[in-house]
Amino acid sequence: MTTPGDKRARTRDWHPETQLIHGGTLRSGFGETSEALFLTQSYVYTNAEQAEARFKDQDPGFIYSRYSNPTVSMFEERMRLLEGAEAARATATGMAAVTAALLCFLRAGDHVVAGRALFGSCRYVVEDLCPRFGIASTLIDGRDLSAWQTAFRRTTKAVFFETPANPTLDLVDIAAVAKLAREAGALVVVDNVFATPLLQKPLTLGADIVVYSATKHIDGQGRCLGGVVLCSEKFLKDHLHTFLRQTGPSLSPFNAWVMLKGLETLPLRIKARCAAAARLADHLARAPGIARVLYCGRPDYPQAALAARQMTGSGQIVTFDLAGDKAMAFRFLNALGLIKISNNLGDAKSLVTHPATTTHQRLKPEQRAELGIGDGMVRLSVGLEAFDDLAADIDGALAAAVG
Characterize the bridge pairing of strands 340-341 and 209-213: unpaired
Buried b vs exposed e over 113-151: b needs ≥16 C-beta within 10 Å? bbbbbbbebbbebbbebbeeeebbbbbbbbbeeebbeeb
pLDDT at 2: 53
Contacts of 215 (CB under 8 A, 6+ apart): 93, 94, 224, 225, 226, 227, 344, 346
Contacts of 69 (CB under 8 A, 6+ apart): 38, 40, 62, 250, 253, 256
Reference 348, options 166, 254, 220; nearest CA is: 220
Four-point Cα dihedral 173, 114, 347, 19, nearest 10: 60
Going from the N-terminus, what domains does the chain have, and what CATH number goes with each? Answer: 7-262 (3.40.640.10), 266-402 (3.90.1150.10)
pLDDT at 13: 81
Alpha helices in 109-164, H assignment, sequence order:
120-124, 130-132, 145-151
* Rounded-to-integer distance, Cα 159 and Cα 177, Å: 9
- Low-confidence stretches of the chain (pLDDT beneath 50): 3-5
Contacts of 207 (CB under 8 A, 6+ apart): 174, 178, 188, 189, 190
Q: Beta-strand (E) ranges in 1-125?
A: 87-91, 111-115
pLDDT at 402: 92
pLDDT at 5: 44
Question: Using an 8 Å Cβ cutoff, are 114 and 148 in contact?
Answer: no
pLDDT at 4: 43
The helix or strand, by DSSP H or E, that contains position 265, with its residue range, turns out to be: helix 253-285
Q: Coil, strand, or helix at residue 206?
A: coil
Contacts of 223 (CB under 8 A, 6+ apart): 258
Give pTM, 2 decimals: 0.94
The helix or strand, by DSSP H or E, that contains position 209, with its residue range, turns out to be: strand 209-213
